[in-house]
C-alpha cells in the first residue's frame, strides 16, 4: 500500500519536511495548510518539488467549520472553499479534508449538514476535487465516525466521502468494527496516529500527545484490519501532532514514522519483512574511554580479569563469569569521558537479524576491519549505540572472540555471573522511537513506561526484554539534559550473593555509592527485614525491593565518566529493576561528582 505523512508531523520548513519524507521512503504527503501559507514557494513550485522528490500530494487539509450553518454563513464558506479549490488545482491536490464543525454557529441538524456538504461537493467536483469528511472527536455535533458516515451516505454525492482517523475513533472508545459497514470506495482517506492512554481533555490529548503506530496504547492494527476489509485501497497516512516531533530533526523523525508503518503493515499482512530474530543474550558491552586506567580499576575491583587484547586495535577484553566488557581507547574524546558505545547481542542467526534491521531502516554501520577479523554486522540504535549481532562459542558461526589474543591474566574468581541488564539514557526526542526500534528491529517485548522522581524533574523509563529475561535493556529519558548523572548509562551485573560481591568490591579498593540513612528507616517500615539484614544493607549501601515474584537486592558503584555499574541479586521470579529505589539512587548520584 502507498504510504503518506502529514507535513504537520515533522519539524522545519515545508521544503525540509518534503525532503525528509522522500528520503525516508514515503510515497506521498498531506499538505497541512499552515505549512503552505508559511512557505515562500508558490503552489506551483511546491507541486514541482514534490514531483522531483517522487511524492504525490495525497491530501490538502484542513477545511474547517463548513457545514450545518445558517445560509449566509454557508455562502461565505462556499466563497472560501472556491478560493481553496483554486489553490489546490495549482498545487495538484485532488482531495480536501473537511473536519466536522466546532463553530458555535453550527446546528444539530444532520439533514442540513448533508445538504451543505453536497453543495460543497458539487463545487469541488467542478475543480476535479473530492471532499473527505472527518468527525473530530471534539466536534460540536458530529464527533464519531459512524455519525459522519451517516451524513455522507445521506448526501449521496460521488465527490463526497469520509476520512477515518484512528485517533478520533479510538480516543472516544468507539468500536471500529462498524467501519466494515462503509463501502471501501467511500473511504476517501485514512489517517493513522497512536497515543498513550491518558485521562485528559481529548483536544489537548490530540494536539500534544499523538505518536506513531506502535508507540502508544491504541490497537491501530486492529482498526486497520477493519478498514482493509472494506476494500479501501488508498494510502496509509500518518497525522501526528506531538510536541517532541515538532522540535526534533525532521529526517530521523520521518524514518521513525516510516518504520512504524512498515511494522504496522507487517502486523496486518500487507508487507512481508524478514522475520524477527530475538537475541538470546548479551555477548559483550563495549566502553569507549580516553583513559582506561579508572575503568580498569573499577573492573578489577569487581572481579573482572583482562583476558584478551584485540590483534589490531587498542581494545581489551575483560571477563567475569559470562559477563564480558570491552574497553576501547581508540578515538575517544576526553570531554565525552567514558561511555557505553556498543552492545554485542547473541543471535541465533546474525545475518538474518541484520537483514531484519536493514529492512526496518536501521542504519547499517560500516566497520573498518582487517582481512582476518571476524565479520560482524552492526546497526545503530536511535541513541547512536552500536548493536552487533554475534555468536559466542558456536561451532557453526564465527566467534567474535577470535579477534582477541589471550593474555596471561588469571580468570576471574566466582562472583559475577553475567550481565543482568543494561540501562541506556536516551536523548529526550528519541524515547518513543527507541522503544519501537527495540521492539520491532530486535523483537524484544516492551514493559509499561514508568515515571521516576528525580531531584530536578521526572525520569521516564521503559524496559524491553526477551521472553527468558536473558536480554534486558532499560530505556530512560531524563529531565535535566545538561546533567551528566541523568545522561549516565549503566551495566547491571548479576550475582548470586550481592552482599559478598559488595564486600569483595570494597576490599579491592572499590567505592560504592553512599545511600542516605533515611532510606533504611523507610525500608524497615516497608519490609519485615531482620535488624541484621538492615545493618548489613546500611553498611554496604545495598537497596532492596520485592514484588510478587521475589526479592531484588542491588548496589551501585560510583560513576566513571558517564558509566556506573550495578551489582544485582535477583530472585528468579522478580521481573522489575528496582524502580522504587531509583529516586534514592538519582539523588545520591547528584550529590556525587562523577569520577573522570
- For residue 298, how far is the Cα from the chain centroid? 33
Query: Would you state the pLDDT for residue 483?
Result: 44
- Residue 84 contacts by C-beta under 8 Å, 6 or more apart in sequence? 60, 63, 96
Query: Would you state the pLDDT for residue 261?
Result: 97
Domain with CATH 3.10.180.10 in the chain: 281-591
Query: Would you state the pLDDT for residue 161?
Result: 98
Per residue in 232-290, pLDDT (tens digit) is 999 999 999 887 777 788 999 999 999 999 999 999 999 999 999 999 999 999 999 99
Domain with CATH 3.20.20.150 in the chain: 3-268
Query: Would you state the pLDDT for residue 485?
Result: 42
- Kindly indicate whether the domain formed by 3-268 is annotated with CATH number 3.20.20.150: yes
Band (pLDDT 50/70/90 cuts) for residue 45 is very high
Query: Would you state the pLDDT for residue 447?
Result: 87
Quickly list DSSP for 278-298.
---EEEEEEEE-S-HHHHHHH
Query: Would you state the pLDDT for residue 480?
Result: 47
Distance CA(240)–CA(7), nearest Å, equals 9
Query: Would you state the pLDDT for residue 356?
Result: 97
Distance CA(2)–CA(237), nearest Å, equals 8
Q: Say if residue 486's pLDDT is above 50.
A: no
Q: Say if residue 334's pLDDT is above 80.
A: no
**DSSP secondary structure letter of residue 410:** P
Given the C-alpha cell 549501601, which residue does it identify? 541
Calculate the dihedral angle through the C-alpha atoms of 429, 433, 435, 436, rounding to the nearest 10 degrees.
170
Burial class (CB in 10 A: 0-12, 13-18, 19+), 155: buried
Query: Would you state the pLDDT for residue 481?
Result: 47
Query: Would you state the pLDDT for residue 60?
Result: 98
- Kindly indicate whether the domain formed by 281-591 is annotated with CATH number 2.60.40.10: no
Q: Say if residue 596's pLDDT is above 70.
A: no
Give the mean pLDDT of the chain.
92
Average pLDDT over residues 551-578: 94
Amino acid at each position: 500500500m502507498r504510504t503518506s505523512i502529514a507535513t504537520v508531523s515533522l519539524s522545519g520548513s515545508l521544503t525540509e519536511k518534503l525532503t525528509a519524507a522522500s528520503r525516508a521512503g514515503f510515497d506521498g504527503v498531506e499538505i497541512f495548510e499552515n505549512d503552505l501559507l508559511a512557505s515562500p514557494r508558490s503552489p506551483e513550485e511546491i507541486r514541482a518539488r514534490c514531483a522531483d522528490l517522487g511524492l504525490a500530494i495525497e491530501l490538502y487539509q484542513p477545511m474547517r467549520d463548513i457545514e450545518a450553518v445558517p445560509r449566509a454563513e454557508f455562502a461565505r464558506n462556499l466563497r472560501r472553499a472556491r478560493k481553496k479549490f483554486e489553490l489546490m488545482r495549482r498545487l495538484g491536490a485532488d482531495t480536501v479534508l473537511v473536519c466536522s464543525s466546532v463553530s458555535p454557529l453550527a446546528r444539530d441538524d444532520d439533514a442540513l449538514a448533508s445538504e451543505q456538504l453536497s453543495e460543497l461537493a458539487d463545487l469541488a467536483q467542478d475543480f476535479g476535487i473530492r471532499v473527505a469528511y472527518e468527525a473530530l472527536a471534539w466536534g460540536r455535533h458530529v464527533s464519531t465516525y459512524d455519525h459522519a458516515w451517516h451524513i455522507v451516505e445521506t448526501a449521496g454525492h460521488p465527490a463526497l466521502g469520509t476520512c477515518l482517523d484512528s485517533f478520533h475513533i479510538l480516543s472516544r472508545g468507539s468500536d471500529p468494527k462498524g467501519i466494515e459497514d462503509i463501502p471501501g470506495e467511500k473511504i476517501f482517506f485514512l489517517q493513522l496516529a497512536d497515543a498513550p492512554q491518558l485521562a485528559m481533555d481529548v483536544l489537548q490529548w490530540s494536539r500534544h500527545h499523538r505518536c506513531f503506530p506502535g508507540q502508544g496504547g491504541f490497537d491501530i492494527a486492529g482498526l486497520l484490519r477493519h478498514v482493509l476489509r472494506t476494500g479501501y485501497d488508498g494510502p496509509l497516512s500518518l497525522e501526528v501532532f506531538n510536541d517532541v516531533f515538532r522540535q526534533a530533526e525532521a529526517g530521523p523523525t520521518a524514518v521513525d514514522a516510516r518504520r512504524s508503518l512498515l511494522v504496522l503493515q507487517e502486523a496486518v499482512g500487507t508487507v512481508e519483512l524478514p522475520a524477527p530474530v530475538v537475541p538470546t543474550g548479551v555477548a559483550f558491552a563495549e566502553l569507549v574511554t580516553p583513559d582506561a586506567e579508572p575503568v580498569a580499576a573499577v573492573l578489577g575491583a569487581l572481579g573482572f580479569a583482562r583476558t584478551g587484547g584485540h590483534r589490531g586495535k587498542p581494545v581489551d577484553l575483560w571477563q567475569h563469569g559470562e559477563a564480558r566488557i570491552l574497553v576501547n581507547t581508540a578515538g575517544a574524546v576526553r570531554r565525552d569521558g567514558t561511555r557505553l558505545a556498543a552492545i554485542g547481542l547473541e543471535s541465533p542467526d546474525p545475518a538474518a537479524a541484520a537483514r531484519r534491521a536493514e529492512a526496518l531502516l536501521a542504519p547499517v554501520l560500516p566497520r573498518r576491519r582487517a582481512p582476518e577479523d571476524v565479520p560482524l554486522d552492526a546497526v545503530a540504535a536511535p541513541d547512536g549505540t552500536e548493536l552487533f549481532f554475534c555468536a559466542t562459542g558456536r561451532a557453526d558461526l564465527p566467534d567474535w572472540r577470535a579477534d582477541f589474543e589471550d593474555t596471561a591474566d588469571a580468570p576471574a574468581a566466582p562472583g559475577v555471573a553475567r550481565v543482568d541488564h543494561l540501562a541506556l539514557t536516551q536523548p529526550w526526542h528519541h524515547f518513543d522511537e527507541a522503544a519501537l526500534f527495540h521492539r520491532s528491529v530486535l523483537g524484544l517485548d516492551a514493559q509499561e513506561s514508568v515515571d521516576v522522581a528525580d531531584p530536578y524533574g521526572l525520569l521516564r523509563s521503559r524496559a524491553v526484554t526477551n521472553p527468558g529475561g536473558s536480554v534486558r535493556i532499560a530505556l530512560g529519558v531524563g529531565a535535566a539534559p545538561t546533567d551528566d548523572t541523568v545522561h549516565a548509562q549503566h551495566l547491571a551485573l548479576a550475582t548470586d550473593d550481592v552482599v559478598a560481591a559488595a564486600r569483595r568490591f570494597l576490599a579491592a579498593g572499590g567505592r560504592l555509592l553512599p545511600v542516605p540513612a533515611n532510606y533504611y528507616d523507610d525500608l524497615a517500615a516497608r519490609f519485615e527485614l531482620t535488624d541484621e539484614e538492615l545493618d548489613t544493607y546500611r553498611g554496604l549501601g545495598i537497596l532492596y525491593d520485592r514484588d510478587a515474584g521475589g526479592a531484588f537486592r542491588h548496589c551501585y558503584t560510583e560513576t566513571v565518566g558517564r558509566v556506573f555499574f550495578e551489582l544485582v541479586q535477583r530472585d528468579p521470579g522478580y521481573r522489575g529493576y528496582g524502580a522504587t529505589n531509583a529516586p534514592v539512587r538519582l539523588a545520591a548520584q547528584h550529590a556525587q561528582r562523577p569520577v573522570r
